[in-house]
Amino acid sequence: MKQITLNLNKVAGFVSQAQIDAYAPKVQQAQQMLEQGTGLGNDFLGWLHLPSGITQELLAELKEVANTLRENCEVVIVAGIGGSYLGARSVIEALSNSFSASLKDKKDPMIVFAGHNISEDYLFELTSFLKDKRFGVINISKSGTTTETALAFRLLKKQCEDQRGKEMAKKCIVAVTDAKKGAARTTADQEGYKSFVIPDNVGGRFSVLTPVGLLPIAVAGFDIDSFVQGAVEMEKACGADVPFEKNIASQYAAVRNALADEKKTTEILVNFNPKLHYVAEWWKQLYGESEGKENKGIFPAAVDFTTDLHSMGQWIQEGVRNIFETVISVAEVNHKLEVPFDEANLDGLNFLAGKRVDEVNKMAELGTQLAHVDGGVPNIRIVLPKVDEASIGQLFYFFERACGISGYVLGVNPFNQPGVEAYKKNMFALLNKPGYEEDSKAIQSRL
């Protein structure tokens, strides 16, 4: 399997090798804290050796349940939010044909996401779309009580039962949730749904390699064995026993902290392939929720190039110089398309005739990197061998490991998200949720 690589050449003018290497002791200490479970949030380290612990039995069970959904549903709704949503979406969007929704000879069910917003229009349009469809639902929530997901699931469960009958609904609704706690668990047990467990010690944003990610990915028709294998490779390559200078997770954690020391406090994840848009969304959650606390943390942002070169490109080239870019560069594309020769050459593009479209894209990438470095933006480059299951599995584990290290180096607990509760408390108070009477009174006096 070709491995992802990390290239730090284009940070050289901004931080020295000595500044990066100075992080080696802290990074090694963070690696040990992860490995020995001695750091903050150590009850959420189940992700660390998750890939190598995934059993053939679990993979077989996931594939069997995925096949039941594939056979009985033309549309499968994946209901979830945050860590119970972004991993699956990013893999499915990366691997799917960009026009799969309109392909005529579709063999795979259409995957639709819900439970990640509270938009009445979205839910109205979704439920209308499903009216004449044979659909199923994967209800994903670790707590089993998240409002966005629970609300969407309430609507979808009823519609599925009304349209398809109780027995078929039972076959086509699957829960991925806690082993014992939460409303999603209670509902699954009482209704007799097939269910998968999210391990206690794996937090939402680190859960893509549990059934949270694996089941929807399998339902969409992708190879979960290769995806897991990719992650297993990275688990070895990024382990605490791999020396600092050869360990790409350690290097990435070190360089981003060194850049932050130089007031580069916003990291922009860049892709040159729109299929990776949701990989960046997943990454933003991973780093944002893990590091953004106690008034600390690099702000994670993302752009899709070359599209956003025509919008955000100006800011990146010449705006406030507090940013650095991490570019995910894809070494080999999956398809071949050459620019045709045109006799009239009215568009003046014959200088590209015979070239692969990807060659043009690669030159845009190189030209952008050099321009941005010239403009004062350090560039980190991650080379992904291909957009396929194995490479994405590698990328996810690499980012997770580096995030754990980087969070410990920063001095925060990378595995909690206390700040997420503030909006929920206010929303429940405003909606007069039972148990929030005092908060309701207090918030009303502020309006």
| Residues carrying an active site annotation | 289, 310, 424
To the nearest 10°, report the CA torsion of 248, 251, 257, 259.
Answer: -100
Residue 117 touches ligand PA5, criterion: CB under 6 A: no
Residues 227-246 that bind ligand PA5 (CB under 6 A): none
**Are residues 24 and 244 in contact, defined by beta-carbon separation less than 8 angstroms?**
yes
Residues near 408 by beta carbon (within 8 Å), at least 6 away in sequence: 29, 30, 33, 34, 39, 40, 414
Element (H, E) at 407: helix 389-410
For the chain, counts of helices (H) and of strands (E): 18, 10
- Tallying the residues shown for the chain, one arrives at 447
Residue 46 touches ligand PA5, criterion: CB under 6 A: no
The CA distance from 62 to 211, in Å, is: 7
Coil, helix or strand at residue 40: coil
Nearest residue (CB) to ligand PA5, 244 versus 428: 428
The CA distance from 132 to 113, in Å, is: 18
In whole angstroms, how close is the CB of 289 to ligand PA5 at the nearest point? 5
Nearest residue (CB) to ligand PA5, 72 versus 416: 416
Stretch touching ligand PA5 by CB under 6 A, among 21-29, 51-59, 79-87, 374-382: 79-87
Stretch touching ligand PA5 by CB under 6 A, among 51-59, 78-86, 343-351, 387-395: 78-86
What is the Rg, in whole angstroms, of the alpha carbon atoms belonging to the chain? 23
**Are residues 237 and 3 in contact, defined by beta-carbon separation less than 8 angstroms?**
yes
Number of residues that bind ligand PA5 (CB under 6 A): 14
**Are residues 265 and 299 in contact, defined by beta-carbon separation less than 8 angstroms?**
yes
Nearest residue (CB) to ligand PA5, 50 versus 312: 50
In whole angstroms, how close is the CB of 108 to ligand PA5 at the nearest point? 25
Among 109, 203, 300, 393, binds ligand PA5 (CB under 6 A): 203
Residue 90 touches ligand PA5, criterion: CB under 6 A: no
Residue 417 touches ligand PA5, criterion: CB under 6 A: yes
For tokens 């829960």, the residue is 175
Coil, helix or strand at residue 329: strand
Residue 81 touches ligand PA5, criterion: CB under 6 A: yes
In whole angstroms, how close is the CB of 286 to ligand PA5 at the nearest point? 8
Binding mask 368-397 for ligand PA5 (x = CB under 6 A): ------------------------------
Nearest residue (CB) to ligand PA5, 290 versus 329: 290
Nearest residue (CB) to ligand PA5, 200 versus 223: 200
Lookup: tokens for 299: 């702000």
**Are residues 427 and 147 in contact, defined by beta-carbon separation less than 8 angstroms?**
yes
In whole angstroms, how close is the CB of 20 to ligand PA5 at the nearest point? 29
Nearest residue (CB) to ligand PA5, 132 versus 421: 421
Which pairs count as long-range contacts for 353-361, CB under 8 Å and 24+ apart, including other chains?
358/333, 361/272, 361/273, 361/306
In whole angstroms, how close is the CB of 176 to ligand PA5 at the nearest point? 9
In whole angstroms, how close is the CB of 235 to ligand PA5 at the nearest point? 20
**Residues at the contact surface with ligand PA5, assessed by CB under 6 A:** 81-84, 141-143, 146, 149, 203-205, 289, 417
